[in-house]
Amino acid sequence: MSKDTQTTQSSYVQKLLAKLGLHRDFDFALHLPLRYEDHTKMSSLAHALDQQKIQFIAKVIDQQIIQKPKKQLLIRIQDGQEICHLKFFSSYPNLEKLLRVGQVLLFRGEVQFGHYGWNMVHPTVLDKDTPLPTTLTPIYPSTANLSQSYLRKCIFLALTRLSHLPNLPAHLDPHLPKLLDALKLVHYPHSEIEAQRILEKSHPAYHRLVFEELLAEQIVVWQTKLQRLKISAPVIKKIESQSSCLAYLLQTIPFQLTASQQEVFAEIAKDLSNPYQMLRLLQGDVGCGKTIVAALIAALTIDNGLQCVMMVPTEILAHQHLDKLKVWLEPALKLYGKSIAWLIGKQSKKNKTLALEAIHNGEASLVIGTHALLSENVQFSNLGLVIIDEQQRFGVEQRLTLNQLSWSTASGEQMYPHTLMMTATPIPRTLAMCYFADIDISSIRELPPGRQPVTTRLFKTHQRQTLIHLIKDLIVTTRQQVYWVCPLIEESEKLDLVHVNEIYAQMSQALNLSTEVQISVGLLHARLPSEEKNRTMLEFIAGRIDLLVCTTVIEVGVDVPNASIMVIENAERFGLSQLHQLRGRVGRGHQKATCVLLYDLGDKAFLSSPAKQRLQTMLNCHDGFQIAQKDLEIRGPGEILGAKQSGRQTTRFADIRLHPSELTKAQQAAADIIHHDPNLAQQIKELWFGQAHYWKA
Ligand code: ADP
Ligand code: MG
């Protein structure tokens, strides 16, 4: 083989290995077997069972090559008194030579007992003196054209080269096999029992991998957090003045803040008084009143002569926040000669230019907008605070773009804005420890007084007529308003759109048959023109629309207290946190609210188990924190976070549902190592993550 062919071949193999994510020795070491085969024992045909995988030594007693329909090789072998027929669907000279009559060889594969006695298809054929392994043989996940034997060799060599893995100080080391021993054990277990425990992720060697992985991750988490404490941000302090925005807002809000709201406000305000960047998540159930807390924090920022921007995921929500914040803050802002600007995708050019100007020259001290804030060439004068509402709807990159917008103070110092993210999808504690650990969390744990839990009921699709009658009666007698939500899932957007329109037509007709009272039905989905959406929403808020047929555009944030009935079509298609968010749109006023989950079995007799678990959870559970925990149990952290949310992969070995105690230990060890042995911390981090810097926030 010429040198050139060699290099092309090896780069081809490298590509195949790269496909499996295998670059460094440690990557190979972490490429764990899918299953194992036992090649440690020799057997014989006399002791074999039908469909058993065995290896035995036998003598070739006959060889036939048949040409039709394709060239095939048929072999007969003898082991003691037993005969076995072998079949190879392709034949080539080397194989024919190896399987000459009279040869004694080692055969390995699955034997079957059929009409003509024993037979095997494509067994592995080896020299009869091949030494038997003393451990089980790993079978790895692979890719086309990459053989098991090659992969096995690469991994074996990689493990041999990895002799210097970092060791933890004794007092932090859990009672588990050392990392290298653990790796060798998971690749080459000694017995079926051991193999089984590894595959079940319960073997101590597996636990070592889990622990080390979590440790590496926690080290990164801590380091990221320490890094942030070095980023300068403006000190924001309470201004003692009766004419401050904050004082104005506190005097004019039409309700008493809950104790929880006051607590989180104090907590956030304290954080803002530090000279480094705040990165904080405010979580609290749907309807607990996060918006007013955000407004108070915004007022505080504005009082300090700084700008504040609030980014929301939908236009409808942008409008709603704008309307609220205008009432809450505009009179006080006017005293400062400041204004509120807003920026959305669909906006007239003139309005956009005016807004951009006001933001740039600092006249706008509060800016509200959608993703447009990220894509437009928005330049702030002195951005002090970024608020991101419904943060779960944004990807990491989006969340962190605004937070990079720095400016210089008069003395030339670079300042970065503080960041407050808000979500009604609480993050379970273990998940937060892993993926949000570098973010501080504030939680609102109570709802404003007077709220009653939403009654939730299940209906099958074929009970639709009964449901329509019930709803109609309710509208006529109590004048309660209704959301009728249809799923809109990206892949089948067109079909779903037809569905929304159909439901709209159906409801408009059904509700107004033979009624003296006129029932007004509205339609709302993302594809409608901006003005129409806005108009419909205003009509609904004003109570002029009784029933709003809509898609999940209303899923987040929308606040119409008089709407107290919600019907969710195809509830089985929604995720748990989405259902909880949707249900949170009702039960915001003083009436008793109802949520109907309408589900469709399609052509099946039963719902899938996760769908059933989700609906069941919705029936039994009203607390967002409990629902989030349940969601974690049903879906697992990987699916909840995804790369988009977490900005990186979730763990490969650790599953925080199975390994909560390893997580706690790893967290403590990480803090200790960073503090006492930064070199070791660096080694561990590099071992697991290489130079890659994919950790973002
Ligand atoms: P979320 O936390 O889901 O964003 P909102 O901020 O939209 O909730 O608040 C839900 C509703 O509760 C709003 O109508 C708001 O005016 C009202 N609200 C907020 N705080 C209180 C309170 N302390 N007392 C009474 N009503 C409140
Ligand atoms: Mg909200």
**Rounded alpha-carbon distances, angstroms, from residue 353 to 321, 376, 380, 451, 693:** 21, 11, 14, 43, 37
Whether the domain at 41-132 and the domain at 245-444 fall into the same CATH topology: no
Check if 168 has its Cβ closer than 6 Å to any atom of ligand 1. no
Window from 51-60, 218-227, 233-242 with minimum mean pLDDT: 218-227
Which H or E element spans position 319?
A: helix 315-336
Query: What residues flank ion ligand 2 with Cβ within 5 A?
Result: 557
Supply angle C-alpha 298, 302, 303, rounded to 5: 115
DSSP strand pairing (72-79 vs 117-121): unpaired
Q: Which atom of ligand 1 is closest in space to residue 258's alpha carbon?
A: 23
Ligand that lies nearest to the alpha carbon of residue 450, given by its number in the listed order: 1
Check if 559 has its Cβ closer than 6 Å to any atom of ligand 1. yes
Alpha-helical runs (H) found in 20-147: 25-29, 93-98
Peptide bond preceding 69 in cis form (omega within 30 of 0): yes
pLDDT at position 103 over 90: yes
* pLDDT tens-digit map of 575-605: 888 899 899 889 887 788 999 999 988 777 7
**Rounded alpha-carbon distances, angstroms, from residue 142 to 13, 21, 196:** 12, 11, 21
Token pair, residue 429, equals 């504690």
* pLDDT tens-digit map of 295-333: 999 999 999 999 999 999 988 889 889 999 999 999 999
- Please count the residues of the chain: 697
Check if 585 has its Cβ closer than 6 Å to any atom of ligand 1. no
Task: State the fold for domain 454-621.
Answer: Rossmann fold (3.40.50)
Question: Which residues make Cβ contacts (< 8 Å) with residue 265, sequence separation at least 6?
Answer: 257, 293, 296, 297
Instruction: Give the residue among 431, 450, 451 at the shortest CA–CA distance from 441.
Output: 431
* pLDDT tens-digit map of 256-305: 999 999 999 999 999 999 999 999 999 988 889 999 999 999 999 999 99
Note the pTM of the prediction, 2 decimals: 0.75
CATH number of 41-132: 2.40.50.140
Ligand that lies nearest to the alpha carbon of residue 282, given by its number in the listed order: 1
Task: Note the pLDDT of residue 80.
Answer: 93
Residue nearest atom 23 in ligand 1 by C-alpha distance: 257
Q: Which residue has the tokens 């009935």?
A: 565
Token pair, residue 506, equals 């159906």
Task: Note the pLDDT of residue 515.
Answer: 65
Check if 391 has its Cβ closer than 6 Å to any atom of ligand 1. no
427-464 in b/e form (b: 16+ CB < 10 A) is: bbbbbbbbbbbbbbbbbbbebbeeeeebebeebeeeeb
Ligand that lies nearest to the alpha carbon of residue 313, given by its number in the listed order: 2
Supply angle C-alpha 439, 691, 686, rounded to 5: 80
Q: How far is the CA of 317 from the centre of ligand 1 (A)?
A: 14
Q: How far is the CA of 588 from the centre of ligand 1 (A)?
A: 8
Window from 100-104, 243-247, 297-301 with minimum mean pLDDT: 243-247
Q: How far is the CA of 288 from the centre of ligand 2 (A)?
A: 8
Mutate to test the pocket of ligand 1, among 323, 559, 577, 581 (most ligand atoms within 8 A of CB): 559
Residue nearest atom 18 in ligand 1 by C-alpha distance: 289
Instruction: Place 642 in a pLDDT band, splitting at 50, 70 and 90.
Output: low
Task: Note the pLDDT of residue 479.
Answer: 86
Q: How far is the CA of 451 from the centre of ligand 1 (A)?
A: 11
Q: Please provide residue 60's backbone torsions phi and psi, each rounded to the nearest 5 degrees.
A: -75, 125
Instruction: Place 639 in a pLDDT band, splitting at 50, 70 and 90.
Output: low
Strand order, beta sheet including 440-444: 339-343, 364-369, 307-311, 383-388, 418-423, 279-284, 440-444
Annotated domain spans of the chain? 3-34+151-202, 41-132, 245-444, 454-621
More confident residue, 45 or 346: 45
Token pair, residue 275, equals 């000279």
Token pair, residue 333, equals 């802002």
Q: How far is the CA of 465 from the centre of ligand 2 (A)?
A: 33
Alpha-helical runs (H) found in 452-542: 464-478, 493-511, 530-541
Q: How far is the CA of 389 from the centre of ligand 1 (A)?
A: 14
Token pair, residue 653, equals 């070995």
Helix, coil or strand: residue 581: helix
Q: Which atom of ligand 1 is closest in space to residue 290's alpha carbon?
A: 2
Instruction: Place 640 in a pLDDT band, splitting at 50, 70 and 90.
Output: low
Euclidean distance between CA atoms 165 and 170, whole angstroms: 15
Task: Note the pLDDT of residue 492.
Answer: 53
Task: Note the pLDDT of residue 205.
Answer: 96
Homologous superfamily, domain 245-444? P-loop containing nucleotide triphosphate hydrolases (3.40.50.300)
Inter-residue contact 85 to 76 (CB < 8 Å): yes
Amino acid identity at 249: L
Task: Note the pLDDT of residue 141.
Answer: 94
Check if 637 has its Cβ closer than 6 Å to any atom of ligand 1. no
Token pair, residue 292, equals 């007013």
Q: Which atom of ligand 1 is closest in space to residue 293's alpha carbon?
A: 6
Ligand that lies nearest to the alpha carbon of residue 253, given by its number in the listed order: 1
Euclidean distance between CA atoms 519 and 481, whole angstroms: 10
Using left for φ > 0, alpha for ψ between -120 and 50, and beta otherwise, residue 193 falls in alpha
Instruction: Place 691 in a pLDDT band, splitting at 50, 70 and 90.
Output: low
In 89-237, DSSP assigns E strands to: 104-114, 117-121, 124-127, 137-139
Check if 258 has its Cβ closer than 6 Å to any atom of ligand 1. yes
Euclidean distance between CA atoms 63 and 86, whole angstroms: 10
Task: Note the pLDDT of residue 5.
Answer: 47
Question: Which residues make Cβ contacts (< 8 Å) with residue 470, sequence separation at least 6?
Answer: none
More confident residue, 379 or 497: 379
Task: Note the pLDDT of residue 598.
Answer: 92
Residue nearest atom 17 in ligand 1 by C-alpha distance: 289
